[in-house]
Amino acid sequence: HEMANRIKQAEESQRQFFQNASHELRTPLMSIQGYTEALQEDVIPKEQALPILLSESHKMKRLVDDMIFLSRLDSHQHTNNETVTLATLAKECADYFAPIISQHHLAFFCQIDEDELVIRGDNDRLQRAIANIMTNALRYAKSQIVLSYKQGMLTLSNDGPAISKEDLPHLFERFYKGDRGQTGIGLAMTKEIIQQPQATIDVSSDTKKTSFIIHFQSQHSQDDKESH
């Protein structure tokens, strides 16, 4: 019975996934169709329509890319199992986003404890997970973003508006749309990537700041590893 229930849950999850995906793709697709028809009939000037068509097509591409990535996560395809030094991971993400944050006219505070803790995981995917959180922070931060790493704990904070108490429990659900109206794919991906190397992710939010806290487990130093 337990196996039958699991199969049923998996089938229901897949059905829901495709239903949500179809709904999310329909909106930009209808927009592209509408503006293309308007262009064809000379209802609106090309200069007005083309930026919107480009934006909507980019939106569709991101959605499709994210959905393909999610399906790969589900089937554990193309997963690297490599040694990842956590402090280096944090520093690489900080170095990549520092100029982008500056372009958004936001302050960036970074504090990384240079320890030697390592995990087994997929470095590229972990960077993508952190990038999703950073992109979220860029969207909502008022004046600053903070990245800190110490003893296996990576924290990303921003001073944007608080996430509502109703939305918080659902933040990492696939396709969940809360008050902010963003498609819940990025954070769902983030959680699933983070969980693969046996880590956890939590979020806290109030009127002063929103923080995403990643706790990496089963850490040890490279020196300890080599001594055993």
Per cent of the chain over pLDDT 70 is 89
- Burial status of residue 31 (CB atoms within 10 A of its CB: 0-12, 13-18, 19 or more): middle
d(Cα 29, Cα 59) in Å, to the nearest integer? Answer: 10
Q: What is the pLDDT of residue 25?
A: 81
- Domain residue ranges of the chain, discontinuous segments joined by +: 1-75, 82-216
Find all residues with CB under 8 Å of 225, minimum gap 6, and list them: 118
Q: What is the pLDDT of residue 181?
A: 55
**Could you report how far apart the first and last alpha carbons of the chain are, in Å?**
44
What is the CATH code for 1-75?
A: 1.10.287.130
The string of pLDDT tens digits covering residues 154-174 is 999 999 999 999 889 888 887
Q: Which CATH architecture does the domain made up of 82-216 adopt?
A: 2-Layer Sandwich (3.30)
